[in-house]
Homo-oligomer: A and B are copies of this chain.
Amino acid sequence: MTSSTDPGSGAARVLALLWREPGARTSTRGPRQGLSVDAVVAAAIELADSAGLEALTMRRVAQALGVAPMSLYTYVPGKAELLDLMLDAVYGRMPYTETAGLPWRERLAAVARDNRALCDRHPWVALVSAARPPLGPGLMAKYERELLAFDGLGLDDVEMDDALAYLLGFVQASARASSAARALRRESAITDEEWWAANEPLLARIFDATRYPTAARVGSAAGEVRGTAFDPDHAYRFGLERVLDGLGVLIEARDR
């Protein structure tokens, strides 16, 4: 079976799958496939959306499709490749705002907003690794579209790529933090207030405010304003302004 164009062990087959290249299927013998790659990917996305990435298991995807777990491996080399396919699929269907003609800061803000909205709809997107992204049609279209927001600003090609990666990295890190905070609130048996109430006496006895005066002052000020230890939404809004300001410095330098 292994021909000279042996697709190899998953890692090599994923590109063909991403572009939905017809497999090396030549003969028509045997039963037809009852499912499709798209059906598997769609079921996996729905499961991850509704139950979270940690609930995305091959067994549960199979259950949602009414097949046995091992049947999935007919369509997909493994779980890692399934995640690649899921990612490219949501990239391809991602809604985006048209920004041609707007000032650069609004264009970049729109890119950030679109990506944040994607992570809002599909929280697992922020949690899958960003190393070696899936080179499928969805990512290509997204990359092309988002690069255009950085066009005509005086940046060279490499800087455009750097700047986009920087912006997307910030959005991903923010979304990850939001997701972690949400997961903590969901799965922790104890609420923030309960935790604080239970631990405040011990902390008050043990924490020496005179040793850490700045920490005590700043920490309590931040805690009071936000009402909680960590507010991911606030961190996002604060951070995005800094990101845009920082890119603005580069853009103005190149403009001159």
A residues sitting closer than 8 Å to B (CB atoms) are 8-9, 11-12, 15-16, 19, 21, 129-132, 135, 140-141, 143-144, 147-148, 151, 156-158, 160-163, 165-166, 169-170, 172-174, 177, 180-181, 183-184, 188-190, 195, 198-199, 202-203, 206-207, 211-215, 217-219, 221-222, 225, 229-230, 234-235, 238-239, 241-250
Contact A157 B245, beta carbon cutoff 8 Å = no
Contact B245 A250, beta carbon cutoff 8 Å = yes
Partner of A172, one of B151, B173, B183, B250: B173
**Measured CA separation A229–B139 after assembly (Å):** 14
Number of chain copies forming the complex: 2
Closest 10 CB pairs of A and B: A246-B246, A242-B246, A157-B221, A131-B180, A173-B173, A245-B249, A161-B222, A144-B215, A144-B212, A245-B246
Contact A130 B235, beta carbon cutoff 8 Å = no
Contact B12 A195, beta carbon cutoff 8 Å = yes
Q: Which residues of B contact A172 (CB under 8 A)?
A: 173
Contact B238 A162, beta carbon cutoff 8 Å = yes
Contact A166 B239, beta carbon cutoff 8 Å = yes
Q: Which residues of B contact A188 (CB under 8 A)?
A: 11
Contact B169 A12, beta carbon cutoff 8 Å = no
Q: Can you list 16 A-B contacts (CB < 8 A)?
A: A11-B189, A11-B195, A21-B202, A135-B203, A140-B207, A140-B215, A144-B212, A144-B213, A157-B217, A157-B218, A158-B221, A162-B238, A165-B235, A242-B249, A245-B246, A245-B250
Q: Which residues of B contact A245 (CB under 8 A)?
A: 245-246, 249-250
Contact A147 B242, beta carbon cutoff 8 Å = no
Contact A166 B246, beta carbon cutoff 8 Å = no
Q: Which residues of B contact A181 (CB under 8 A)?
A: 131-132
Q: Which residues of B contact A225 (CB under 8 A)?
A: 158
